[in-house]
Amino acid sequence: MIQLSHRPRRNRKSAAIRALVEETKVTTDDLIFPIFLLDGKNQKVEVASMPGIFRLSTDLVLKEVEECLNLGIRAFDIFPVVEESLKDKTATKSYDPNFFYLRALREVKKQFPEACIMTDVAMDPYSSDGHDGLVEEGKIVNDETLEILGKMALAQAETGIDILGPSDMMDGRVGYLREVLDSNGFTDVSIMSYTAKYASGFYNPFRDALDSAPKFGDKKTYQMNPANSREAMIEAALDTEEGADFLMVKPALAYLDIIKLLKDNSDLPIAAYNVSGEYSMVKAAAQKGWLDGERVAKEMLLSMKRAGADIILTYFAKEFAQAVKRQ
């Protein structure tokens, strides 16, 4: 027999031993489940490019949240699906207290105060231009956008939500929103900044879900260049200085190096957004029988956690929790 001083396979020889030495674990405590909210009642519409993910009216969102809480998922990111006729250049519906989205948020927090509710701060769901910021003469203007985002953030905070997620990538927005929140008595509302949000091709199914694709051009003047990593450190330093409570990397799978970079250089919790395109490509391949969707989804989530993500926003959250419960 060959004499080997080290045989790493000894630590892989049984399920029990593999569990003892397992370095990375994903649990439902790590996950935030994104939900798409529709106006109306008893409305459930599957997103064609996201099999298994639905746009839900408020009554069904309440049922979904209850089901997920029973599965161990306690955090949710709720996005509004806004009718085209209600959109305008300045996103006025985003801070109308009677708008269905804000009314729904109040109801969710009333029914489930124990749930952690996160919201999105950006103009694109409400904008007739489909951009995250205000468009003037064909350009997305920065400082004027902040004023609109401030109104939006304040309106969302007034519903009782827990975390604001500014996804717009305007310069200075974290500091501006922190000042708006604090000066209005919302010092307990957290900010999870979309710190390193890249101009990615992985977002298309999400834009299908919200009907929020830009009406012209692209988002490359405000979202980050996928070729850049050092730039993420600049954004992280600014967001930290301005008062962010969490730093997010979006997308996740193609940016594991950025997750690790921020984890190694920041003391703030790091979130990763396992985005719609990452979800959809697994679902499409699984439907073709080309891979085991549940196994690959778990492996993807493990890779994000292993890279350093403390929190993962993922459309796989409910399926993951159901699989855990079956074990």
> Is residue 122 within 8 Å of 156, Cβ to Cβ?
no
For residue 15, how many other CB atoms are within 10 A of its CB? 8
> Which of these, 253, 258, 263, lies nearest to 299 by C-alpha position?
253
Q: What is the pLDDT of residues 292-324, one digit of tens each?
A: 999 999 999 999 999 999 999 999 999 999 999
Look at residue 202 and tell me if it is in a domain: yes
| Catalytic position from the list 93, 219, 250, 305 | 250
Question: Which ranges of the chain have pLDDT less than 70?
Answer: none
Q: What is the pTM of this model?
A: 0.95
Domain count, the chain: 1
Look at residue 9 and tell me if it is in a domain: no
For residue 39, how many other CB atoms are within 10 A of its CB? 18
Helix runs in the chain, H state only: 15-20, 58-71, 100-111, 143-157, 173-183, 204-210, 230-242, 256-265, 276-287, 293-307, 317-326
Vertex 58 angle, CA 156 and 153, to 5°? 10
**Could you tell me how many helices (H) and strands (E) the chain has, helices first?**
11, 12
Query: Residue 327: what pLDDT?
Result: 79
Residue span of the structural domain in which 245 resides: 24-326
Look at residue 44 and tell me if it is in a domain: yes
Please report, in range form, the residues annotated as the binding site. 235
Q: Which residues pair with 164 in a beta bridge?
A: 119, 191
Which CATH number characterizes residue 138's domain? 3.20.20.70
Burial 228-250 (b: 16+ CB within 10 A, else e): eeeebbebbebbbebbbbbbbbb
Rounded Cα–Cα distance for residues 92 and 310 (Å): 34
Look at residue 140 and tell me if it is in a domain: yes
The amino acid at 9: R
Q: Which tokens go with 94?
A: 């985003």
Helix runs in 42-130, H state only: 58-71, 100-111
- DSSP assignment, residue 225? P
Query: Residue 4: what pLDDT?
Result: 93
Q: What is the pLDDT of residues 129-148, one digit of tens each?
A: 989 999 999 899 999 999 99
Query: Using only C-alpha atoms, what is the Rg of the chain?
Result: 20
Look at residue 198 and tell me if it is in a domain: yes
Look at residue 12 and tell me if it is in a domain: no
> Which of these, 305, 144, 9, lies nearest to 135 by C-alpha position?
144
Sign for the CA dihedral angle at 194, 199, 200, 203 comes to positive
Annotation marks residue 250 as catalytic: yes
Rounded Cα–Cα distance for residues 85 and 290 (Å): 41
> Is residue 59 within 8 Å of 42, Cβ to Cβ?
yes
Query: Residue 130: what pLDDT?
Result: 85
Please report, in range form, the residues annotated as the binding site for Mg(2+). 235
Look at residue 205 and tell me if it is in a domain: yes
Look at residue 11 and tell me if it is in a domain: no
Rounded Cα–Cα distance for residues 323 and 52 (Å): 15
Rounded Cα–Cα distance for residues 142 and 170 (Å): 6
